[in-house]
Amino acid sequence: MKPQFIILTLLLVNTTFAQSAFPDFLQGTWKMENNDVYEHWDKINGQTLKGFSYKIINGQMAVSEYLEIGQRKNELFYTATVLNQNQGKGIEFKLINNDSAYVFENPRHDFPKKIVYKKRTDKELLVHISGEKQEALAYRMLKQNGAVAETDTSTSNPNYDKALAEKLGADDYGMKSYFLVILKTGTNTTTDKAFIGESFRGHLDNIGKLVEVGKLIVAGPLGKNENSYRGIFILHNIASLADAEALLETDPAIKNHLLAYEIFTWYGSAALPEYLPYSDKIWKLKP
């Protein structure tokens, strides 16, 4: 697999990766020099940046990968999730140096194995990508005032509601990152009906609690399938993968291994949670 990683640099202050490790200048849109490839980044919190790379094709945005820079246990990782590759799983590169340049490395990956970034100015980044045998790549990325001009009526939205967008945490494209969870049959094969019933009652109760605290916006079962997939969750307002996994462990069916899960970063409309007030007005019977 040789995904085309399009990289931005990161200004790091020290190896403890304090909040200043995620500078405001990284937010916004960047363009590869002499190539119509863009990246857009948003600061989610003091420990996480999320973004995506894309091209503009026939006036439409074509996203190629989703990106994240995040801290775990005082270590910083760059994660790229390339569409239609690696079964939707991200590939991580760990920061190993942050002196004059910032080096992320994954020696087990085929290409790239090492990504080196150097900030020249607030408007210009130098990027170097290398592997063992493949030819190295080096290029500049330039800060843009915007991928498309806000005054361009063919691309800007005359109905844009800034207050609503800020309330929902939307980026310039009305989107945000979520965690998509696919529930599947777990490893516990018990036949204890009372235990199973109690666990799944707790599962349903926990769904309601997560909705109430604003962490779960979609939940529902899947039809019978050969993959033993049972249902889906979409989680939001979660700072990190570790936080999402900890939240899932509050579900008794998951905790008791009657259900297992796969989890992915998902990029979708920031307006998705707005359907919830209506969902409480259309049911007649509780499940």
pLDDT of residue 153: 42
- State how far the Cα of 287 lies from the Cα of 19, in Å rounded to an integer: 44
Residue 168, H or E segment: helix 162-168
The domains found in the chain, sorted by start residue, are: 19-156 (2.40.128), 176-279 (3.30.70.1060)
User: In sequence order, what are the residues at sequence separation of 6 or more whose Cβ sits closer than 8 angstroms to the Cβ of residue 158?
Assistant: none
What is the Cα–Cα distance from 134 to 54, expressed in whole angstroms? Answer: 24
Span 215-237, pLDDT tens digits:
999 999 999 999 999 999 999 99
CA quadruple 146, 150, 153, 156: dihedral positive or negative?
positive
- In this prediction, residue 37 carries a pLDDT of 87
Instruction: Tell me the pLDDT tens digit for each residue of 23-46.
Output: 466 777 889 998 888 888 887 777
Write out pLDDT tens, residues 146-164.
544 444 444 467 788 888 9
Out of 6-15, 20-29, 97-106, 156-165, pick the least confident. 6-15
Sign of CA dihedral 80, 37, 8, 113: positive
